[in-house]
């Protein structure tokens, strides 16, 4: 893609390292892992992975998936999120998602309307190499520290370095989306998911939104971060008219 002619891997590495360092300064230890059996084990701590990151539905071959684990000072898992790569070839993200949901959630859809289900318009447009971002979880004790944004951006940076995707997609609830949590994690765009949620009602909800970034967004995010870190602005004061973003954590990929 032509947008990646502007991509500087050193800037992307620095982007990831800044967020890595910020997490470590709070006492977290981060690891990038590729053993999805560990993510699935409920006795390992964290939150059990959904079917979109389950071995029953996907082969997590080397180079096409990873997950990020954060542990506290006692070695307990307190954060997780996962990424997997899909090459759509000539298909759209809407076609892929519908087929996967029908396969992964058989018999749970009830009686969806006949014919193709309505879904977010962007899913019909996005093609090529996409990354699905999900399984985001942060332990209750670590919430309210503005960690969700940096950790989400860290995963986006890792996906950018490893795969140069055309787009990264994730699902968030409507309340989280409207509060701007996905935006803090690097997601620049959002649309209501649409009726396709009916295919997986035990996992998706009627008010869920799809959030996404495309290749150009990812490159601009890294470049903007580099320029901002080179000449940072002083913090805004209370009289500037800009309110502080509320603390909290989202589920960028469900």
Question: Model pTM?
Answer: 0.87
Q: How far, in Å, CA of 154 to CA of 157, rounded?
A: 5
Which neighbouring-strand residues pair with 169? Answer: 132, 212
DSSP string covering 22-83: HHHHTT-EEEEE--HHHHH-GGGSS----GGG-TTT----TTSEEEEEEE-TTS-EEEEEEE
pLDDT for res 129: 97
pLDDT tens over the chain, length 254 residues: 578 888 999 999 999 999 999 999 999 999 999 998 888 876 667 787 889 998 888 888 889 999 999 999 999 999 999 999 999 988 999 999 999 998 999 887 666 666 678 999 999 999 999 999 999 999 999 999 989 899 999 999 999 999 999 999 999 999 999 999 999 999 999 999 999 999 999 899 999 999 999 999 999 999 988 888 776 666 555 443 333 222 333 344 44
Q: Which of 38, 84, 81 is nearest to 63 (CA)?
A: 84
Question: What Rg do the C-alpha atoms of the chain give, in angstroms?
Answer: 18
CB 252 within 8 A of CB 81: yes
The closest of 179, 200, 198 to 254, measured between CA atoms, is: 200
Q: What is the pLDDT of residue 37?
A: 86
pLDDT at 193: 96
């Amino acid at each position: 893609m032509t947008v990646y002619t502007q991509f500087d891997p050193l800037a992307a590495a620095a982007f990831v390292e800044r967020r890595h360092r910020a997490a470590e300064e709070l006492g977290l230890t981060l690891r990038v892992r590729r053993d999805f059996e560990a993510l699935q084990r409920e006795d390992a701590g964290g939150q059990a992975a959904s079917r979109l990151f389950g071995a029953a539905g996907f082969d997590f071959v080397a180079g096409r998936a990873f997950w990020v684990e954060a542990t506290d000072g006692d070695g307990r898992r307190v954060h997780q999120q996962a990424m997997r790569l899909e090459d759509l070839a000539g298909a759209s993200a809407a076609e892929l998602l519908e087929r996967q949901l029908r396969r992964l959630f058989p018999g749970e859809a009830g009686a969806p309307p006949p014919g193709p289900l309505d879904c977010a318009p962007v899913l019909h447009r996005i093609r090529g190499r996409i990354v699905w971002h999900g399984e985001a979880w942060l332990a209750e004790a670590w919430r309210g520290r503005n960690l969700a944004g940096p950790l989400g951006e860290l995963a986006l940076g890792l996906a950018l370095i490893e795969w140069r995707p055309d787009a990264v997609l994730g699902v968030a609830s409507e309340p989280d989306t409207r509060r701007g949590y996905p935006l803090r994690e690097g997601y620049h765009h959002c649309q209501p998911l649409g009726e396709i949620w009916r295919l997986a009602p035990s996992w998706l909800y009627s008010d869920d939104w799809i959030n996404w970034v495309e290749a150009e967004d990812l490159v601009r995010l890294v470049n903007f971060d580099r320029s901002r870190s080179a000449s940072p602005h002083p913090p805004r004061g209370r009289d500037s008219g800009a309110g502080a973003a509320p603390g909290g954590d989202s589920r960028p990929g469900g």
